[in-house]
Amino acid sequence: MTTDSRSDDDAHGDPRFAALPGRPGKVIAVHLAYASRAAQRGRTPLAPSYFLKPSSSVAASGGIVERPAGTELLAFEGEVALVIGAPARRVTADDAWSHVGWITAANDLGLYDLRANDSGSNVRSKGGDGFTPIGPARFPAASVDPAGLRVRTWVNGELVQDDTTADLLFSFPRIVADLSQHLTLESGDVILTGTPAGSSVIAPGDVVEVEVDAPSAEGAPTSGRLVTTVAQGATPFDQRLGSLPSVDDTQRAEAWGSSEAAGLAPVGLDPALRDKLESIPVAGLSAQLRKRGLNNVTIDGVRPLRPGSRIVGTARTLRFVPNREDLFDSHGSGYNAQKRAFDAVGEGEVIVIEARGETGSGTLGDILAIRAHARGAAGIVTDGGVRDAEAVAAVGIPVYSAGTHPAVLGRKHVPWDHDVTIGCGGTTVQPGDIIVADADGVIVIPPALAEEVADAALAQEEEDAWIAKQVAAGHPVDGLFPMNAAWRAKYADRAQDREDGR
């Protein structure tokens, strides 16, 4: 095992920087870099983004971190920490790794209770004293492949994070090179490279251990285990000075890693409501929405690729704009909005695509259909075309489109954005809207009305079935459909008899 636990700052008597060459001038953290974490979050960034942590937040292994009084959501994030060895300014990705001097372990602790008013800066939520434990040892970066590192985290002895750098969204050399475009990375600066899936909440008394190693490298160098114990703080925040801690279910779900882990109801469509909507024709839902003043809620001009297809789910949106060659060069290639949307769709969700009714090219093909199906998506709706139509239909995921076309996306469209309000088939669709589709078409239900509309539609379906039975028995429709007072009384008597068990 090759490590270097010496510190140039030891002589200055500050044990916080024992694993570093000295006190870092900057601590820069990456928001998202691991595919596993992006999948957990349900969003995948196009490029890396960053925030700063003060060097006063750095702590040594074996220390104690306080969860401040009045808070509940202190979360750990085991990470690989890169320590800059040689200054880097506008370096290339090919040259960037040579500017990294050492590797060690870090725990990017954060307090979700303070995120609401930090607006992504993370100054308060991640800048607290002791919120950046680093160490206990470092090893030379030149001795390892940046794609051959492993990070593991244990809480109270249980392994909770275990991932490698083999399949990062953004490689470490790319991150170093990107940062060097904007600022000089100086010797001793620290880059926290993001955390994999598994980050969650810790409480007073918990012990967190993080280790970074290179198991396939010569000597299998390691940082050793970075140990941090959580304690309960006694001093509350002063409400006269700034915003107070506050949490909601969204913050709880993000801090714990999922709604289920946080003890909350699963995000998405309630299973009981889904069951109701599965049994109601779109025509019945349309009638109930019309009674409530909503007429422009149908996605027009789309038909199912496979007859008999039905969709019930919540919307995830994707927006295309008309193709312009320079914009396609910047937004259409690589890991664009279309690919990010299909990678992020979750179980029971419906990808709804705004293509402006343009069917002169495909808006998806079989590969993306397979990806959505594998992610558990409930369906895909596009007011544009579909290519590889037979292969897409064979995937098994319900797809509604305005037509088919063999041409690729770039002939007519630029994938521009996702998870935004869009227009599809003449109606507005927002992320989280409820989508229901059958042979009659596709309808969009505002979530706040869904339960009321479903119950009313079920009641109407029952009434219509009874009317149909009377018509089949030979009764004329006049006075029966719709029911006049006499027929209404008969229907009421029938309902009462059924309630009484007669």
Residue 494 pLDDT: 75
Residue 6 pLDDT: 45
Residue 393 pLDDT: 93
Q: How far apart are CA 455 and CA 43, in angstroms?
A: 33
Residue 85 pLDDT: 97
Q: State in words which class domain 271-450 has.
A: alpha beta
**Surface-to-core class of residue 483, CB atoms within 10 Å of its CB (0-12 exposed, 13-18 middle, 19+ buried):** middle
Residue indicated by tokens 């918990």: 206
Closest to 188 in 3D by CA, of 273, 100, 267, 256:
100
Residue 449 φ then ψ, to 5°:
-100, -5
pLDDT mean values, one per 10 residues, the chain (502 residues): 46 81 96 89 84 96 94 96 97 96 97 82 92 97 96 96 94 96 97 95 96 95 96 88 82 84 77 92 94 95 94 96 91 87 91 96 95 94 96 94 93 92 96 95 94 91 85 88 84 66 54
Quick one: DSSP state of residue 333? S
Residue indicated by tokens 């002589």: 11
For residue 34, give both structure tokens: 């691991």
**Topology agreement, domain 10-256 and domain 271-450:** no
Residue 231 pLDDT: 95
For CA atoms 15, 20, 24, 28, give the dihedral sign. negative
Q: Does domain 10-256 have CATH number 3.90.850.10?
A: yes
pTM: 0.68
What residue segments make up the domains of the chain, in order of their start?
10-256, 271-450
Residue 5 pLDDT: 46
Kind plus residue range of the DSSP H or E element containing 340 = helix 337-344
